[in-house]
């Protein structure tokens, strides 16, 4: 038996224009999956401001479907074998952001890394290249508007912060082509995260296989304690 409830993703929570932010969708599902580690597979694009259904079949999986029952996104318990790279220092992460923002960076309103977002309506997470490390890094202090009433960041915000940096790493270090998208995320959160606290994000390329790019992303405290870890799969669109 499948239980379903309707919801829509607000218009400002997008990556590509009008396309719901992948990490946000993944975090919403992960919160319902009743597992410490969850794999989320993206089957089709989800548009913002469009009704979708959150379904909980009895087999333990959780999914988003369109109103015509087309499968959009699916989550299930999983295992994560990724070895995290050591986090850079808070000072190095701050320097990477400052260096990245001083260059010619495209201004977008992407929910994750958009420069045009207002605090609380976007993560304002700006992963930038850490010189000599083959790694993207960012110092990040989440705004109060991202948290729940207790000040804790909900899973959809944490998973969002585990999404964009991996794509940035693949674009820079794996020469991923334009139009690439998140195809899957396998993630685990190890400790609560809070608005107003200082965190370090860092991301790196794990492997490339043709159009497929596997990346690692970690979130740590300013002292380097691991808070969340994710392995992401990004895929370039077919050309021609």
Query: Measured between alpha carbons, how far is 176 from 70 in angstroms, rounded to an integer?
Result: 29
- Shared domain for 110 and 173, answered yes or no, is yes
Distance from C-alpha of 201 to C-alpha of 130, rounded to nearest angstrom:
11
Mean pLDDT of the chain, nearest integer: 94
Last residue of a domain, one of 53, 77, 101: 77
d(CA 71, CA 111): 24
Output the domain CATH number for residue 211: 3.10.129.10
pTM for the full predicted model: 0.96
Residues 6+ apart with CB under 8 A from 187: 26, 30, 37, 38, 40, 80, 159, 162, 228, 229, 230, 231
Tokens 């009895």 sit on residue: 58
Considering the domain architecture, whether residues 101 and 192 belong to the same structural domain is answered as: yes
pLDDT tens for residues 122-152? 999 999 999 999 999 999 999 999 999 999 9
In the prediction, which pLDDT does 58 show?
A: 66
Q: What is the pLDDT of residue 1?
A: 40
The answer to whether residue 4 scores a pLDDT higher than 90 is: no
- The pairing of strands 226-235 and 71-77 is unpaired
**Which of 12-26, 46-60, 157-171 comes out lowest in average pLDDT?**
46-60
Structural domain including 214 reads: 90-235
Instruction: Identify whether the C-beta of residue 40 lies closer than 8 Å to the C-beta of residue 30.
Output: yes
Residues 51 and 103 reside in one and the same domain: no
State whether 107 and 56 are in the same domain.
no
Could you tell me the pLDDT band of residue 240, with boundaries at 50, 70 and 90? low
Residue where the block lists tokens 């082509």 = 177
Which positions ≥6 away from 162 have C-beta within 8 Å?
23, 185, 187, 217, 219, 228, 229, 230, 232
Q: How many domains does the chain have?
A: 2
């Amino acid at each position: 038996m499948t239980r379903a409830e309707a919801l829509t993703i607000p218009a400002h929570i997008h990556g590509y224009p009008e396309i719901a932010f992948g990490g946000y969708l993944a975090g919403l599902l992960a919160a319902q999956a009743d597992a410490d580690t969850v794999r989320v597979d993206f089957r089709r694009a989800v548009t913002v401001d469009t009704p979708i259904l959150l379904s909980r079949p009895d087999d333990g999986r959780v999914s988003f479907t369109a109103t015509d029952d087309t499968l959009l996104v699916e989550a299930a318990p999983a295992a994560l074998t990724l070895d995290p790279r050591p986090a850079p220092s808070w000072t190095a992460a701050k320097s990477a952001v400052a260096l990245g923002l001083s260059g010619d960076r495209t201004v977008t309103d992407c929910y994750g890394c958009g420069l045009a977002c207002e605090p609380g309506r976007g993560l304002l997470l700006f992963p930038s290249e850490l010189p000599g490390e083959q790694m993207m890094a960012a110092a990040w202090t989440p705004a109060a508007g991202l948290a729940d009433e207790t000040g804790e960041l909900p899973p959809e915000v944490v998973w969002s912060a585990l999404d964009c940096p991996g794509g940035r790493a693949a674009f820079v270090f794996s020469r991923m082509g334009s139009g690439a998208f998140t195809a899957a995320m396998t993630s685990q959160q190890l400790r609560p995260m809070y608005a107003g606290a200082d965190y370090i994000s860092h991301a790196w390329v794990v492997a490339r296989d043709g159009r497929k790019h596997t990346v690692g992303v970690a979130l740590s405290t300013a002292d380097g304690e691991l808070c969340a870890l994710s392995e992401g799969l990004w895929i370039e669109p077919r050309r021609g």
